[in-house]
Structure 1
């Protein structure tokens, strides 16, 4: 168990903008920060971070919370895992009791798979450094590649011994479950025997964006033609190769800082470039580039520079991934190395400044690169050239931004020596085809949706006023609960003649006290059960007479309530996404007139509830025409007077809710 002292220290130290900034590129939006949602595929930012409140809200998925809940949501961590991750990030020593073997086996399945993978990484590195075989084969290989000791340790490189079951025996001996060794693909069971998948290979741990070991890549060093040169972990609950980029954990901060990501092919390419001082580099680990991998980069930067070996055949196969990058609305450049060179070999022998200069000077726009590459094949063959031009226009059609498409068409026209009109016509045909296919899909989806729409239309047509007013009550408590304000009280007092007169007094109250007393006076409970739970929780919290800090409060509420609290707190921040101030539309700040805002909200809720009672009485009158309704009519009159009283106090005429 992690001690409460450690948890408190993590909450006090972790800054939500710093934690999220490791995963999402954030840009200033007033006092807040905004970026693309890491939980959904989107082109316009709907993700908002409030450094002042130390919370975040993703308006596209509805998720929200503090620094800890972000790590839990993004990395699918448990609470203790998130605390450990943040403690590591901020160099906070974790106080906890050591896990027994029983507790280790009781850990969640996914956590068990992470634990097995992390044990394996330590085992492989220990084997490489502390055994004769590991030093002679594994360590010497990495040293020959030019990797320093610091680099080897930073990337967690290791060696799996040649013995068939050395790792599996050690893991089982340490109390790790065979089931999880098999699930992550480290152990293969056959005929009631177990074998190490990565026997006799140097090991490259594959880490998530937060640094957890997801799987491995293993390279064989012998000339065994029957064995694959590189072997990767199989797909598992924690490792999906299409959604992972090798090196992203070590590159993410540099990618944000440089606002560019270098994309190459292999593990050693990434490591060598990183060691050479180019840290904003990742690899697709030898697999074909996927949309999920591109979106991972898109959270950090809009700019990708694809690094290609100087091998022409490999170039043609690799440029297919460029269209995928363009579809995501990203800016693509391509940099090729001299023939016979790759990022690994070139970075190894090129001084840092010269390497940076080469990358800068040789990074071409994708259209220039593609044209120069394919034109060599077309030469003077008109049919091949026509196919090439169509291929170029297909790539341009993938770009979502219309202005960029037009600029690229102009550039393509210049390079290919063909009129812009022809290219625009071809582009229009391709776009029309895409639109037609999209329309067909839309029509099919609409037919399915119409049934659901018809069922819910009558429900959604009406705004739930009580819900909105109750939400405002919670918002007031969260934003201003411990503020002390002047409030008006209207009391009936006898004058010198014994007549009762309504007297106005101004008294000081804490906002939470005023809200509580007002609702208690009318014996009002919030109809929404989640709001009522938050309300009870907040009143109890304020009564402890502690300073209200949202991050401390969120620590002690359930995930369901935390989600709702964040949504309420960030509701106003949503306006920042639309940049209203740039359009000279300014939102009135409620904290300038807190007492007025509180009074109006409470009176509005009371008005609504009284009006609801009146409507219920009227309904009962219509159903009992022959009965004596004088008492009910009298009640309606009394309640109507109460509504008039609300109107006077509000100082304005309010239309009745219906």
Structure 2
């Protein structure tokens, strides 16, 4: 089991990683004030930039959709990695060797090195195959692509290459790059004769597609036979290796992931050329499995990309209209209950696949195929009905027994009555008879479906006799027209973005402040709790505050940390920050004076003179503080 990365190492990764440099790889950023940048949000579709990054504090926030966090959360969301995978990726980027907690086992340095060597070998191999596609010996490969409507630009976009017909072209190339045979044997790109250790190229005389993981690293290859004297299978893939696990790989996921996240749609096609055809036709959400059926591990990847939480999204399967295609669709339906997203099937009546459609009828035909999708459960019902003779009573009863549980499994319960009526019409039976069968299937558990994508366990289970967990307090957004709320917000922006302003003179009055807006008071409380960190690294300072506040307010901390404080230059910014704090302190003094004056007004004629004198002394002291603040300002 992987061990936890030491907290101090996570902080080091966070501090040393330039968030602007990382975000620039996904978003075009432009200056937006001193130390701030903005661009179009990668997490939602927008026309005006509302996505802000402030490198000094290592934070991003979108004022449009509310997404926010630090460089780790950004890469985690964009590349759909786990927290540990993200930290390890960023650590490798900035050259940090991570340490793991005692009792756990993270990837050892030598294991990380071995993995990187394998990735390097695959990268060099992909470049080798790409270069070979332009050689005279690859004419059959270029003809294959041209006949299917793929030009040189398309081949370059997907990194298509050619494996030469010799026995050791790639082997010799990688050896000259310094790779040892014991390393190369682990790549799956080479074979050896039985009973010998002599190695030779696994892929020879074939068209090659590089298979990449979700981050864009080449981890394997798919190869298509071109020559009649090749006795191997039509398609030959990399075998299972430390990098390549076919049940966890989706071809094209590296190019499709952003569009999948944006549109919340994923299209599953059958082959490499189908993925190419879909993308070139404008269906940028297409992926394909690699020599295996679409299964549980694939679903895990898809659900992360779709944010499969019940709030939308769709998965579209495309299959040939023949018996094999129908069988594949029914296998997909068997996994349907593990999705919360709606599942559909798109079948071309002529049996043409997306590559053939684009080749013979153009890009629009591919788009039309996807637009013609219909619910997968409807397809499953109709396939089941075809197996029975509906002209006989026995056949109709058998068909109802097969179809009723499928209707019962429809997640959207509002659709079940409509499909119950449809099924009654297809069978030529009464609505009452079909409805009874569907309801019986629901009672048997066929239709009892969780809204959590196949996990029927509740999100919170109270143990017998245990007290209920306290509810997380709700924080409403303050009225932007309230000047007091605006003042508190500006003060928190200063504290998070320019903590050096809170020096020994300004920290005590700031820490003693009482904020009226509950959300701002919670952030202020968190700042006080981690106040000693304000003199350290700004990135760690903001992250410490973000971790201290209640979960619902973490986005607010990011928002405050990137909000622009208007200023022409650094000196003007410092003056503006000091002025904001002075006005906040003056506002607090005004509140304290009002409380003291109220106490004096409520006192009767028999009030203790000593108490009255003490209150007046406090009022005088507050007035002197107020005048001092104004003079300094």
Q: TM-score of the superposition, structure 2-length normalised?
A: 0.60
Q: Structure 1 269/106 Cα, relative in aligned 2: closer, same or farther at 3 Å?
A: closer
2:426 corresponds to which residue? 415
2:268 counterpart of 1:263: yes
Q: Structure 1 15/412 Cα, relative in aligned 2: closer, same or farther at 3 Å?
A: same
Unpaired segments ≥5 residues, structure 2: 1-12, 30-38, 53-59, 96-108, 307-311, 451-455, 471-488, 515-525, 557-580, 590-633
Q: Hey, what's the Cα distance between the residues in 1 that align with 2:532 and 2:75?
A: 24
Shift of 1:307: 1.8
1:67 corresponds to which residue? 74
Q: Structure 1 26/425 Cα, relative in aligned 2: closer, same or farther at 3 Å?
A: farther
Q: Structure 1 571/371 Cα, relative in aligned 2: closer, same or farther at 3 Å?
A: closer
SS in 2 for 1:307: strand
Asked if the contact 2:269/2:287 (under 8 Å) is kept, the reply is yes
1:248 corresponds to which residue? 253
**Pairing 1:164-243 to 2, within 5 Å after superposition:** 164-189=167-192, 191-223=196-228, 226-243=231-248
Give the one of 495, 506, 510 matched to 1:481: 495
1:293 corresponds to which residue? 298
Asked if the contact 1:167/1:196 (under 8 Å) is kept, the reply is yes
1:108 corresponds to which residue? 113
Shift of 1:162: 2.0
2:380 counterpart of 1:370: yes
SS in 2 for 1:206: strand
2:125 corresponds to which residue? 120
1:272 corresponds to which residue? 277
Q: Hey, what's the Cα distance between the residues in 2 that align with 1:166 and 1:316?
A: 40
Shift of 1:73: 7.2
Asked if the contact 1:160/1:201 (under 8 Å) is kept, the reply is yes
Asked if the contact 2:329/2:345 (under 8 Å) is kept, the reply is no
- Give per-residue Cα distances to partners, 1:442-498, cap 9 Å, x unaligned: xxx99xx99xx89xx99x9999xxxxxxxxxxx99986635899xxxxxxxxxxxxx
**Pairing 1:191-590 to 2, within 5 Å after superposition:** 191-223=196-228, 226-298=231-303, 299-300=305-306, 302-357=313-368, 359-360=370-371, 362-379=372-389, 380-434=391-445, 481-482=495-496, 510-511=506-507, 514-515=510-511, 536-541=532-537, 553-554=539-540, 566-568=546-548, 571-573=551-553
Shift of 1:571: 1.5
Task: Provide the aligned length of Structure 1 versus Structure 2.
Answer: 474
What is the root-mean-square deviation of aligned Cα atoms in Å?
5.4
Q: Structure 1 416/294 Cα, relative in aligned 2: closer, same or farther at 3 Å?
A: farther
SS in 2 for 1:481: helix
Higher normalized contact order (CA 8 Å, seq sep 6+, divided by chain length) = 2
Q: Hey, what's the Cα distance between the residues in 2 that align with 1:399 and 1:517?
A: 56
Asked if the contact 2:167/2:200 (under 8 Å) is kept, the reply is yes
Asked if the contact 2:441/2:447 (under 8 Å) is kept, the reply is no
2:136 counterpart of 1:132: yes
SS in 1 for 2:287: strand
Q: Structure 1 328/269 Cα, relative in aligned 2: closer, same or farther at 3 Å?
A: same
SS in 2 for 1:74: coil
SS in 2 for 1:310: coil
- Give per-residue Cα distances to partners, 1:128-163, cap 9 Å, x unaligned: 22x322x22322322232211111000011111222
Q: Hey, what's the Cα distance between the residues in 1 that align with 2:346 and 2:370?
A: 7
Unpaired segments ≥5 residues, structure 1: 34-48, 86-93, 96-103, 440-444, 464-474, 486-506, 519-529, 542-547, 577-590, 600-658
Q: Hey, what's the Cα distance between the residues in 1 that align with 2:534 and 2:132?
A: 54
